[in-house]
Amino acid sequence: MKALLFRIIIKKQPDQIQPDRRRVNGQAFVEMLMVLPILTTLLFGGGALLYHFWKKNECAHLVFETTHRALLDSQTRSSPKVSLQQDSDGITGQARCESATETVRLPRLEREEL
Amino acid sequence: MKCFLKSCSSNEDGALHVLLILIFLAFSMAAFGSFFWLHRWNKIVQTQMDLDRCVGSLAIHFKTALTLTQKINSSIVATRTAIEAAQASLQFEAIPPLEVLLNSEALAQEAILGSWKIKQTLWLTQQGCHDIHGLPLPLPGVPYKRDIPPDLTGPQPARWSATNGRESARFYFGLSKGSRASAALVELKKKGITYDDWKANWTHPFKKLREWANLD
């Protein structure tokens, strides 16, 4: 009974609700318009940064693995992604990773006459 | 869909909250996932480099021990020849210093062989090197042995004690940790009996296993 009475007291008339609601909705829309570009920029910027970072590291890891494999097996040839260069002291693997160039040099245990 | 976007609550002002939380969660998961993989790659490379450094330094150490043993052997042979020549020509005053030299050469050789034995023990007890531990392949011994007791001239040169000859001798060094492994091989590169002909090389970690399989 008390609850019903309370509802009746606080219940506004329909003509009183509409302007308030419109004002709140409008403000929320303006806030959304202001925040959305910032949020989108942050999200896409962060995503792009993460993707770039990921691709670069994936590529660097690939260069290391390919060069290390070539160190164990001299028959390993350069791949389209990683170019290998052998000399008497070691092997150098190089690849273009996004905008950077990744170079890994692994030494032989002993100098070798090629 | 409407319910999904409006978080199914009576408060319709928070319409974007669930969507934003989902985007944030997806972004966070992608970020943490990426950092997990980056950390894993970094760890893999670090482990491989540590394994290589450990196995490589050991193979070089072994090669040096082999080479030094052979060099000292030839010095011992030369000193013994000099002592025998002095005995034959009755130059007895020249013999004591030559004997001292011969004994010190034999002692140096024993020190090399002994230090390698200590290394072999440490390798097994530490399960690798002091800074990286894993599953080690037992270290080969330096295949030189001195005949005891010494003859009348003095200590004899250490002789090759392995069942197979020097030319076919192959010494493997291997250590693995997790999914990574490193291996090195010390062998005679050119057939001959020069002193610096032992060669240490990286090899495939499972080469020894493959050789065993072929033998069977």
Q: Are A67 and A91 in contact (CB under 8 A)?
A: yes
Q: What are A31's two structure tokens?
A: 């806030």
Mean pLDDT of chain A: 80
Residue type (1 letter), B36? F
Lowest mean pLDDT among A80-94, B13-27, B149-163: B13-27
Residue B137 exposed, middle or buried by CB count within 10 Å (0-12, 13-18, 19+): middle
What is the number of residues in chain A? 114
The closest CB to that of B38, out of A24, A57, A72, belongs to: A57
The DSSP output letter for B173 is E
The domain of A83 spans: 23-107
Residue A55 has phi, psi (to 5 degrees) of: -60, -40
Q: Residue B15: is its pLDDT beyond 90? A: no
Q: Residue B2: is its pLDDT beyond 50? A: no
A36 inside domain = yes
- Average pLDDT, integer, range B111-133: 91
pLDDT of residue B149: 81
A37 inside domain = yes
- Please provide the distance, in angstroms rounded to a whole number, between the alpha carbons at the two ends of chain B: 67
The closest CB to that of A108, out of B16, B48, B202, belongs to: B202
CA A110 to chain centre: 41
Contact state of B16 with A32 under an 8 Å Cβ cutoff: yes
Q: How far apart are CA B86 and CA B95, in angstroms?
A: 6
Residues of chain B contacting residue A112, judged by C-beta atoms under 8 Å apart:
201
Tell me the Cα Rg of chain A.
Answer: 32
Contact state of B48 with A57 under an 8 Å Cβ cutoff: no
pLDDT of residue B35: 86
Q: Residue B1: is its pLDDT beyond 50? A: no
Choose between A100 and B52: higher pLDDT: B52
CB crowding A37-63: b at 16 or more within 10 Å, else e = eeeeeeeeeeeeebeeebebbbbbbbb
Q: How many domains does chain A have?
A: 1
Nearest to B134 by CA among B202, B51, B206: B51
Residues of chain A contacting residue B202, judged by C-beta atoms under 8 Å apart:
71-72, 108-109
Q: What are B21's two structure tokens?
A: 């939380």
A3 inside domain = no
The closest CB to that of A50, out of B34, B48, B202, belongs to: B34
Residues of chain A contacting residue B205, judged by C-beta atoms under 8 Å apart:
72
List, for residues A12-67, the tens digit of each pLDDT value. 555 555 666 666 678 878 888 888 888 889 888 988 888 888 888 889 999 999 99
Residues of chain B contacting residue A64, judged by C-beta atoms under 8 Å apart:
45, 48
Residues of chain B contacting residue A32, judged by C-beta atoms under 8 Å apart:
16
Q: The whole model's pTM is what?
A: 0.77
Nearest to B171 by CA among B71, B73, B67: B67
A63 inside domain = yes
SS3 string, chain A, reads: CHHHHHHHHHCCCHHHHHHHHHHHHHHHHHHHHHHHHHHHHHHHHHHHHHHHHHHHHHHHHHHHHHHHHHHHCCCCCCCCCEEEEECCCEEEEEEEECCEEEEEEEECCCCCCC
A64 touches chain B (CB under 8 A): yes
3-state class of B11 per DSSP? coil
Choose between B31 and B194: higher pLDDT: B31
The closest CB to that of B184, out of A54, A57, A109, belongs to: A109
Q: How far apart are CA A60 and CA B160, in angstroms?
A: 46
A9 inside domain = no
Choose between B57 and A31: higher pLDDT: B57
Choose between B161 and A3: higher pLDDT: B161
